[in-house]
Chain A
Amino acid sequence: MTQPVIRRSVLTPTTLAVVFAAAVTIRVALSGAQGAASRGAGLVFALVLAVTVVACHPSTRVSARAIAIGLAAGAVLVLPALLHVVTANQGWRPTPAGGFAGWAVVTAVVATAEEGFLRGALYDAVARRRGPDVAIAVTALAFGLLHVPFYGWHVLPLDVAVGICLGVTRWVAGTWTAPAVAHVAADLAGWWLL
């Protein structure tokens, strides 16, 4: 079995929370007026998280089951936007496909890094000490707080709820790759649905 680059006792949940806060701070500092739309800031943020994920080496499995669970969870997350498109006579007019590929790559990288950190490294660190329920709650709260600097406090309830769903997806699948699939799928669907 592959050993973590850094011993688990060294990277505690508190240490990971501080790293996460620093990564969010750096993203906010770099993004300026572009906010969450800044691709450069998003990629730097993803890099900091990815380095930590590699150091922690959380439970990682790519399997058909994990992908299926992730896609199912992603479908649940895009349900309200889909219902609006179908029921509200919106005259579906998706964002044109031009530019989608580049945006999709950046979006997938950032979302995967977030999941590798939150539902991978942080989840494992908390779950080892406090069990899965606390791990789901802590990672959901971190996920919600991540969005506050960009959108304000009013997004916290919804994003914490989404974080709980992604945490439960992680618990059901036994690996962070499932919530990563869900997160990427929901974000990419936003191009066509919002």
Chain B
Amino acid sequence: MWRRVLAAVAALTLAWLIAPAAVPIYDGVGNPDEPYRYVNPPAGAKKTPPPTVAKATLSLTAAGLNNAAYANSAEVGPQVVYYVPNGALKAPGGATGITVTATPTPPPSPPTDGTIVGNVYRITATTPNGDATIVGHGVTQLPTLDMRAPSGKQPGPVFEHVVNGVWQHSSTLRIGVDIYQTSAAALGDWALVQLKDQPGKSSGGINIGLLAAGIAVLVVVGLIVAIRLSRTRRAR
């Protein structure tokens, strides 16, 4: 018995270690989210309270490096989650902690390759002695940024961030119905952008063709089973 149990635990541990998302998510029926809160609501958007700021204070090691922490915004589910793993940030000398924030903000300038969906979030890491800097390297040591899009339409948006006034792509992972994740190697302005050359394939409603195909397969299987049953009974 223990051989199979140990093999299962080993497989699960290995999968956890290589899972690209910060927290492994299995499935289930997705938790219902509240309507998206916009800084500048588009026409037709539901009236909501203003979006909230994600904020956390990180303690430091003797070397001035941060201990791991999350900063979550307060919406249900959070519209932004900034995760800082151990040693990703370094504080200036004399600092006793780092405050990280992800603040919803109007876009400084629109990207040229698509449209911002949701809010722009400005990521900061500050101390009373000056700004902290990102010193982590690689996926496991870089801060992770999760953002919830206003909808789960696919193809979904991608992460972009502002570098010297220009929006640039960042590798994007879909980790939930409408939640996306990236390794945030820089502070500053981040947003989800629906690219122009990736128009949404789905209208967001029922896909009639796919539905008909699924039902047709079930009907065919039902007929085959019925015929087999009939033959089996006749053969008795």
Interface residues of A (CB under 8 A from B): 6-7, 9-11, 15, 18-19, 21-23, 25-26, 28-30, 32-39, 42, 48, 76-77, 80-81, 84, 87-91, 93, 95-96, 99, 103, 106-107, 110-111, 132-133, 136, 146-147, 150-152, 154-155, 157-162, 164-165, 167-168, 171-172, 186-188, 190-191, 194
Contacts and interface: CB of A to CB of B under 8 A. Distances in A.
Interface in B107-123: none
A150 B32 CA distance: 16
B207 A168 contact: no
Given A187-B26, A187-B28, A76 B225 contact: no
Interface of B: 1, 4-5, 7-9, 11-12, 14-16, 18-20, 22-33, 56, 58-59, 67-70, 72, 74, 76-77, 83, 151-154, 173-178, 202-211, 213-215, 217-218, 221, 224-225, 228-229, 232
A167 B67 CA distance: 38
17 contacts: A21-B217, A22-B215, A25-B213, A29-B208, A33-B152, A33-B202, A34-B152, A35-B30, A77-B26, A89-B59, A103-B31, A106-B29, A107-B28, A151-B174, A158-B19, A168-B8, A190-B31
Contacts of A34: 30, 152, 177
B222 to A, nearest CB: 9
A150 B170 CA distance: 22
A81 B24 CA distance: 7
B56 A91 contact: yes
B29 A84 contact: no
B214 A22 contact: yes
A190 B28 contact: yes
Contacts of B177: 34-37, 150
Contacts of A48: 218
A9 B228 CA distance: 9
A46 B178 CA distance: 22
